[in-house]
Amino acid sequence: MDVFLFSFICCKLMFFLSESSFASDTITSSQSLSDGRTLVSKEGSFELGFFSPGSSKNRYVGIWYENMPVKTVVWVANRINPINDSSGLLVVNETGNLVLTSQNKSVVWSANLSKEVQTPVVLQLLDSGNLVLRGERDGGSETYLWQSFDYPSDTLLPGMKLGWDFKTGLERRITSWKSSDDPSPGDFI
Ligand SMILES: *[C@@H]1O[C@H](CO)[C@@H](O)[C@H](O)[C@H]1NC(C)=O
Ligand SMILES: *[C@@H]1O[C@H](CO)[C@@H](O)[C@H](O)[C@H]1NC(C)=O
Ligand SMILES: *[C@@H]1O[C@H](CO)[C@@H](O)[C@H](O)[C@H]1NC(C)=O
Ligand SMILES: *[C@@H]1O[C@H](CO)[C@@H](O)[C@H](O)[C@H]1NC(C)=O
C-alpha cells in the first residue's frame, strides 16, 4: 500500500514538473519550437508562438501579451512569408542562427545574423517583449547577437528605439499591417 501511495505521489510530481517545464522563456542551440508550443517570458508578460491573425488560416510566428483577453500581437517574424499549415519549426541552428522552417525544412524566415557564431547560443523572450539571441554565458549582459527590438513590426514597446542607428547602420521604423487578417507591411510607415 505504501509503495503504491509513494509511486502515485512520484507520478503526480513528475507530471507537475513536466507540465511546468513547458512554460519556458528560452530555447538553446539545436532545440526548436513547434507550432502549438510557446515561450513565456519569466514574469509572464509576453508569449511567443505560432498564430493565425483574424480569419486567416496562415501561420505566423509572433509575440503577444500573455494575459490580455483579446490576443494583441506586438511583433511578427515571417510577416511577408506565411506558413500554410502546422509544419512550422522555429530553430536555433548549429551556427547560432534563428531560422523558421516549414515543410521539407525549407527556410521561411531567418534572423539573418551577419556572422557565424561559435559559442552556444540561447534564444530568450524577455519581459520587455524583446526576443533576444545571446551567448549562453552572457547571462546578465545586454549585448545581443540579435534582438527583435531592432526589427519592429507595427508596435513600439517601452525600451524600443526608432530611427537611424549610426553604429549598426540599422534604420528602425514601424509599419502598419495590411489588414487585421494580414500582418504583411501595409500602407503606413
Ligand atoms: C503549402 O505550401 C507548399 C509550398 O510552400 C505547397 O507545396 C502546398 O501545396 C501548400 N499547401 C496548401 C494546403 O496550400
Ligand atoms: C543556419 O541558418 C542560416 C540562415 O538560414 C544558414 O545560412 C546556415 O547555413 C545555417 N546553419 C546550419 C548549420 O544549417
Ligand atoms: C519534399 O521533398 C520531397 C523529396 O525531396 C519531394 O518529393 C516533395 O515534393 C517535397 N514536398 C514539398 C511540399 O515541397
Ligand atoms: C541579410 O543581410 C545581408 C547583409 O547584411 C543583406 O544584404 C540581405 O538583404 C539580408 N537579407 C534579408 C532577407 O534580410
Note the pLDDT tens digit of each residue in 142-184.
789 999 999 999 999 999 999 998 888 889 999 999 999 999 9
Residue 67 lies in a domain: yes
Write the DSSP symbol of residue 37.
-
Q: Is 24 in the pocket of ligand 2 (CB under 6 A)?
A: no
Q: Which helix (H) or strand (E) holds 6?
A: helix 2-20
Where do we find the cell 510557446?
38
Q: What average pLDDT score do residues 37-42 get?
A: 96
Best residue among 112, 146, 148 to mutate for probing ligand 4, ranked by most atoms within 8 Å of CB:
112
Quote the pTM value: 0.83
CA–CA distance, 26 with 141 (Å, rounded to integer): 16
Q: Give the structural domain span for 45.
A: 24-185
CA-nearest residue, atom 13 of ligand 3: 103
CATH number at residue 124: 2.90.10.10
Q: Is 99 in the pocket of ligand 2 (CB under 6 A)?
A: yes
Residue 2 lies in a domain: no
Residue 134 lies in a domain: yes
Q: Domain tally for the chain?
A: 1
Q: What is the pLDDT of residues 92-141, one digit of tens each?
A: 988 889 999 999 899 999 998 877 777 789 999 999 999 999 988 776 67
Residue 144 lies in a domain: yes
Residue 133 lies in a domain: yes
Q: Are 47 and 36 in contact (CB under 8 A)?
A: no
Best residue among 93, 98, 133 to mutate for probing ligand 2, ranked by most atoms within 8 Å of CB:
93
Residue 14 lies in a domain: no
CA-nearest residue, atom 11 of ligand 4: 112
Residue 84 lies in a domain: yes
Reply yes or no on whether the pLDDT at 10 is more than 70. no
Ligand index nearest the alpha carbon of residue 83: 1
Residue 62 lies in a domain: yes
Output the pLDDT for position 166. 85
Reply yes or no on whether the pLDDT at 17 is more than 50. no
CA–CA distance, 40 with 125 (Å, rounded to integer): 7
